Amino acid sequence: MELRGLGNAGLAGTLIGWGLAALLALTALRLVLAAVLPLTPDENYYFLWAQHLQPGYFDHPPMVALWIKAGTMLCGNSALGVRLLGPVTAALGSVLLWDAAEQLAPGRGLTTAVLMNATLMIGGGAIVLTPDTPVLFFWIAGLAACARLITSGNPRWWLVIGLVAGAMLLSKYTAALFIAAVFLWMVTDKERRCWLVTPWPWAAAVLGLLLFAPNIAWNAAHGWVSYLKQGGREAMFKPGRAGQFFVELVVAQTALCTPIIAALAVNGLWRLRRDTSPGARLLFWLSFVPGVVLLEHVFSDRVQSNWVAIVYPAACLAAAMLPAEILRRWLKPAVGLGFGLTALVYVQAVAAPIPLPARVDTVGEQLAGWRDFAQAAMAGHPAFVTTDDYATMAVLAVDGPPGVTVAGFYDQWVPRWGYFDYPHGVAPGTVGVMVTRHPQTDCPQLLGTVTRHRGVEVFSTYRLCRFTAPAAGVVLPRP
């Protein structure tokens, strides 16, 4: 798989051809899985975003909604339509990462792309569409543009970096870490500091800001709500649980990276500290900056596993740059184990052949039983249905039977509904049903219970409560 030193252009070309063929086959498999697997609650939520495009939302910038809108215009309001750009951009991102590796470490591009695709993080993330999907794609595109800048010396690549950074910011606000990493890479290197006296980096900053400006304007008009929400994650301080959160982070990432690839990545990143080449310095900062921020977060709260995805491109490239003797020994086992575990997760997601208890069935927790639950919760066709959590609300709107209004009352438990440009409806005083799984939520009159399950394994039990509309809440679209 390693191309360096082969000395045989024909063999190298054959390996590249086989690599591209394998990537196409893997993409086809991912597209099939994207079509047959049910949407997760978060995907349903972002699907609702796409029904009414805005420059910003309570939680994130709008890129994920734009991608879903594009996919559903091509493939309809289906699971494949929602997820279409996930597998496609995973393939394009693999090619871009391959190119970046060839620029920074000739002969290691195929190895880098294979390692990245063999991780569970990418294997699952390429199918489920969330804001992490576009931000990771643009992060890789930014890395590839920086690599081209290094090898070509052509300052026009700064313009590409600026456009990609703007698109990245429109995907997820963690893109600011990419910008900070590139800035530190530039100012800490004597040869690259000279760029600061040229117009190119500043032109890149202007381009990125112009692309991101609509989101800034939306937040300014809405009390800076999404900036405060995401920035507010650091407001908490739980040093007593930092050890627990750190252990959870390490265990989760070892599993999602898969153990051998994780070990190779840590080894490769550790070796970067002694490498003064511009490419190695770039990879160092692209892993160090988000790594420090994520480690700092363990003193505030649990680090969500998907947040670490932005470190994977640099980590896999650093792993591919390890000495040849290490790769000869560990590359095949790493790739075999990675794809094997990913295949096992795919099979479990589709057919659930392993009868896991609900408390440890993380795949089932995300995918199983939502449509049946929504149909049962709304079976009586009440005047309207509401709930006290956004994910359940999205499931009811997308998977529930037609003809029932799903309403969000943003002055109650879920303030985010007030930041959507959805129409208002449901007259105050109208009696409907509130669906909740939270025991602390008041239930003046219990109408029944509904479970979400797969077979005999119950994931959640919900109460159906009589609810009187306190105001004219927003009416969610029913795609």
343 and 262 share a domain? yes
> pLDDT tens track of the chain, all 479 residues?
544 433 455 656 777 888 899 999 999 999 999 999 999 999 999 999 999 999 999 999 999 999 999 999 999 999 999 999 999 999 999 999 999 999 999 999 999 999 999 999 999 999 999 999 999 999 999 999 999 999 999 999 999 999 999 999 999 999 999 999 999 999 998 888 999 999 999 999 999 999 999 999 999 999 999 998 887 665 566 778 889 999 999 999 999 999 999 999 999 999 998 899 999 999 999 999 999 999 998 988 889 999 999 999 999 999 999 999 999 999 999 999 999 999 999 999 999 999 899 888 999 999 999 999 999 999 988 999 999 989 999 999 999 998 899 998 876 567 788 888 888 888 889 999 999 999 888 898 999 999 999 988 999 999 999 999 988 888 999 88
Note whether residue 283 is domain-resident: yes
379 and 271 share a domain? no
Note whether residue 358 is domain-resident: no
21 and 154 share a domain? yes
Q: What is the pLDDT of residues 231-265, one digit of tens each?
A: 766 556 677 888 999 999 999 999 999 999 999 99
Note whether residue 357 is domain-resident: no
Note whether residue 1 is domain-resident: no
What b/e sequence results for 86-117 when a residue is b if at least 16 CB atoms lie within 10 Å of its CB, and e otherwise? Answer: bbbbbbbbbbbbbbbbbbbbebbbbbbbbbbb
Q: Which of 351, 384, 403 is the last residue of a domain?
A: 351
Range of the domain at 466: 366-475
DSSP string, 76-142: -SSHHHHHTHHHHHHHHHHHHHHHHHHHHSTT-HHHHHHHHHTSHHHHHHTTS-STHHHHHHHHHHH
13 and 44 share a domain? yes
CB 198 within 8 A of CB 242: no
Number of domains comprising the chain? 2
Q: What is the pLDDT of residues 321-356, one digit of tens each?
A: 999 999 999 999 999 999 999 999 999 999 999 989
Which distant-in-sequence residues (6+ apart) come within 8 Å of 119 by Cβ?
256, 257, 258, 261, 312, 316, 338, 342
177 and 300 share a domain? yes
344 and 399 share a domain? no
DSSP string, 330-396: HHHHHHHHHHHHHHHHHHHHHH--S---GGG-HHHHHHTTHHHHHHHHTTT--SEEEESSHHHHHHH
Note whether residue 3 is domain-resident: no
pLDDT at 423: 84
pLDDT at 185: 96
Note whether residue 97 is domain-resident: yes
329 and 407 share a domain? no
pLDDT at 417: 84
pLDDT at 15: 76
What b/e sequence results for 180-196 when a residue is b if at least 16 CB atoms lie within 10 Å of its CB, and e otherwise? Answer: ebbebbbeebeebeebe
CA 166 to chain centre: 17
Give the pair of three-digit tokens for residue 64.
């994920």
299 and 217 share a domain? yes
pLDDT at 4: 44
The conformational region for residue 5 under phi > 0 = left, psi -120 to 50 = alpha, else beta, is: left
390 and 293 share a domain? no
Q: Which of 326, 351, 376 is the last residue of a domain?
A: 351
Q: What is the pTM for the complete model shown? A: 0.94
326 and 379 share a domain? no
Q: Which of 327, 351, 375 is the last residue of a domain?
A: 351
Note whether residue 361 is domain-resident: no
CB 41 within 8 A of CB 387: no
pLDDT at 432: 93
Specify the pairing of strand 405-408 against strand 474-475: antiparallel
166/176 Cα distance (integer angstroms): 10
Note whether residue 421 is domain-resident: yes
347 and 392 share a domain? no
468 and 422 share a domain? yes
pLDDT at 411: 64
